């Protein structure tokens, strides 16, 4: 059976997909049954032209080998949370999606959904505060979710493994790692004030500056890096469940440097007989619109510049030496990190009428979200030193068959299923929508 490249050897995921092939999938939305065909529902469909032409599933094709024209038609969706859907993450194998929202008494709640059946598989209820970030750890059954502290838990049993937190006594943070044996929290007196919110669903506060604000997974090293409200980066070893070193991002203690976004840059090089990812730097964005670049091997800052006029909502790498940033100032920017700071700006994307909450990169296409609109633009690497101004084509999400799924609420988070070729969209009405 054809399967994604990174699914080879993952017998568990393959077996689950085969089971889904042999049954018809039905769900109920607003008391009306709606068919949701994620994969072919019978063996007769396996050899159909529609299935054989489906990109990403043929002969273990790489996710970007064939073009994918993103449509803004909502093919399906469901109410994942009663309030705002603040974050989502997709499991390896694209069999499940994790969503973050509010549960009883406004406590943080993470839910795991089976993508093919839309059935709720489990809930993690160990959070006290609102969850602002989720990270599914590939090749393991672990998930990391952040509500100011970071919870590492088992995605099959919903049992908490470890809770990471920083001490509230010192701005530098005396690290502590608390092990728990059940789906609960350790005894702690710290909490996150949720008075300050931004449209993307993330919550921050000035009263608890030692709390984690965002995360990024260094996959090949099985390490997690998290930013804090006090301008620090904390590294974690996910295999051992231990906190590692702590970096200070801002040399001036008088400045308020809230880390709002993190990503890593690097390239693939040959190591022995295989390919390994050698990460050379960590890029961070702040609530004041600043970007900083750190040498991952030496631990010191190599560049700092004013990237935006507002809160930086997301950072992501493009190819080896390029960085894409988005902000509440309604723009996105493409940077060449080999150049010096602000001089490395290559492209500015404008056209959104609201602050950009999220974006995804597919090939040379940039899919950004702001308000109720999805923007599509093209990344251009020009040899010219001149900065290029690019206009974002805005598209309204619609559903030709399901009127109740039409988007009237603001988009909070997005994610791409690279092999299944779907775009997932979370919004502040609690719905998770699937676009072709």
Residues 6 or more apart whose CB falls under 8 angstroms from that of 420 comprise 38, 56, 57, 94, 115
> Within its chain, how far is the Cα of 394 from the centroid?
22
Of all residues in the chain, the percent with pLDDT exceeding 70 is 67
Cα(87)–Cα(407) distance, rounded to whole angstroms? 17
More confident residue, 268 or 72: 72
CA distances from residue 406 to 144, 186, 287, 375 in whole angstroms, order as listed: 31, 42, 32, 17
Cα(380)–Cα(390) distance, rounded to whole angstroms? 9
User: For residue 325, what pLDDT band results from cuts at 50, 70 and 90?
Assistant: very high
Work out the number of other CB atoms within 10 angstroms of the CB of residue 214: 25
Residues 6 or more apart whose CB falls under 8 angstroms from that of 299 comprise 245, 247
Query: Do the beta carbons of residue 260 and residue 216 sit within 8 Å?
Result: no
More confident residue, 152 or 104: 152
Q: What is the CA radius of gyration of the chain?
A: 21
Residue 117, pLDDT > 60, answer: yes
More confident residue, 5 or 119: 119
Q: Name all domains of the chain by residue range, CATH numbers in brackets.
A: 1-64 (no CATH), 67-435 (2.130.10.10)
The tens digit of pLDDT for each residue in 387-436 reads 688 999 998 887 766 555 556 789 999 999 888 888 999 999 999 998 87
SS3 (DSSP) at 293: strand
Cα(256)–Cα(231) distance, rounded to whole angstroms? 7
Strand 332-336 and strand 345-350: the pairing is antiparallel
Give the pLDDT score at 158: 93
What are the residue ranges of helices labelled H in 24-63? 49-52
Q: Where are the beta strands (DSSP E) in 115-271?
A: 120-124, 133-136, 142-146, 150-154, 160-166, 175-179, 196-197, 203-204, 212-218, 223-228, 232-237, 242-248, 259-271
Give the pLDDT score at 175: 37
Report pTM.
0.76
Lowest mean pLDDT among 70-84, 168-182, 305-319, 354-368: 168-182
User: For residue 220, what pLDDT band results from cuts at 50, 70 and 90?
Assistant: confident
DSSP 8-state assignment for residue 392: P
Residue 262, pLDDT > 90, answer: yes
Average pLDDT of the chain is 75
Give backbone dihedrals phi and psi of 343, rounded to 5 degrees, phi first: -70, -10
Give burial (CB, 10 Å; 0-12/13-18/19+) of 107: middle
Cα(205)–Cα(192) distance, rounded to whole angstroms? 7
Lowest mean pLDDT among 96-110, 116-130, 251-265, 317-331: 251-265
Give the pLDDT score at 46: 38
Give the pLDDT score at 402: 55
Residue with tokens 């939305």: 29
- Rounded to an integer, the average pLDDT of 58-82 is 67
Lowest mean pLDDT among 45-54, 106-115, 313-322, 371-380: 45-54
Q: What's the order of all strands across the beta sheet hosting 223-228?
A: 212-218, 223-228, 232-237, 242-248
Cα(275)–Cα(426) distance, rounded to whole angstroms? 34
Q: Which tokens sit at 219?
A: 């996959």
Give the pLDDT score at 66: 53
Residue 59, pLDDT > 80, answer: no
Strand 96-102 and strand 242-248: the pairing is unpaired
More confident residue, 174 or 95: 95
Smallest Cα–Cα separation from 220: which of 175, 269, 177? 269
Give the pLDDT score at 363: 87
Determine if residue 106 is left, alpha or beta; phi over 0 gives left, psi from -120 to 50 gives alpha, anything else beta. Answer: left
Cα(414)–Cα(406) distance, rounded to whole angstroms? 16
Length of the chain: 436
User: For residue 156, what pLDDT band results from cuts at 50, 70 and 90?
Assistant: very high
Give the pLDDT score at 278: 57
């Amino acid at each position: 059976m054809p399967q994604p490249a990174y699914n080879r050897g993952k017998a568990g995921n393959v077996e689950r997909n085969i089971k889904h092939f042999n049954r018809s999938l039905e769900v109920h939305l607003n008391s009306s049954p709606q068919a949701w065909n994620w994969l072919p529902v019978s063996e007769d469909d396996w050899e159909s032209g529609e299935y054989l032409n489906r990109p990403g599933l043929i002969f273990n094709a790489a996710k970007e080998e064939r073009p994918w024209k993103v449509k803004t038609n909502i093919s399906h969706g469901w109410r994942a949370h009663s309030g705002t859907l603040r974050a989502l993450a997709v499991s390896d194998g694209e069999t499940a999606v994790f969503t973050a929202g509010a549960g009883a008494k406004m406590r943080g709640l993470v839910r795991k959904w089976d993508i093919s059946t839309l059935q709720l598989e489990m809930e993690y209820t160990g959070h006290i505060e609102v969850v602002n970030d989720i990270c599914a750890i590939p090749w393991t059954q672990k998930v990391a979710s952040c509500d100011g502290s970071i919870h590492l838990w088992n995605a099959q049993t919903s049992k908490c493994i470890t809770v990471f937190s920083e001490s509230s006594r010192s701005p530098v943070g005396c690290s502590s790692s608390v092990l728990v044996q059940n789906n609960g929290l350790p005894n702690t007196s710290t909490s996150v004030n949720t008075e300050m919110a931004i449209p993307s669903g993330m919550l921050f506060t000035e009263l608890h500056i030692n709390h984690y604000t965002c995360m990024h997974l260094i996959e090949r090293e099985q390490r997690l890096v998290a930013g804090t409200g006090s301008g620090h980066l904390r590294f974690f070893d996910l295999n051992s469940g231990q906190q590692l070193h702590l970096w200070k991002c801002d040399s001036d203690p008088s400045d308020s440097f809230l880390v709002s976004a993190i990503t890593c840059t690097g390239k693939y090089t040959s190591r022995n007989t295989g390919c390994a990812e050698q990460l050379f730097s960590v890029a961070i964005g702040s609530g004041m619109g600043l970007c900083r670049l750190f040498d991952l091997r030496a631990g010191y800052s190599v560049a700092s510049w004013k990237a935006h006029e507002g809160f930086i909502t997301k950072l992501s790498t493009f190819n080896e030496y390029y960085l894409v940033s988005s902000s509440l100032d309604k723009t996105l920017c493409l940077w060449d990190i080999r150049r010096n700071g602000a001089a490395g700006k290559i492209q500015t994307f404008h056209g959104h009428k609201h602050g950009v909450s999220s974006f995804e990169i597919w090939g040379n296409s940039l899919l950004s979200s702001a308000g109720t609109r999805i923007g599509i633009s093209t990344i251009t690497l020009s040899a010219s030193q001149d900065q290029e101004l690019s206009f974002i084509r805005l598209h309204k999400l619609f559903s030709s068959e399901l009127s109740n799924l039409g988007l009237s609420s603001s988009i909070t988070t997005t994610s791409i299923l690279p092999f299944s070729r779907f775009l997932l969209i979370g919004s502040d009405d609690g719905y998770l929508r699937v676009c072709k």
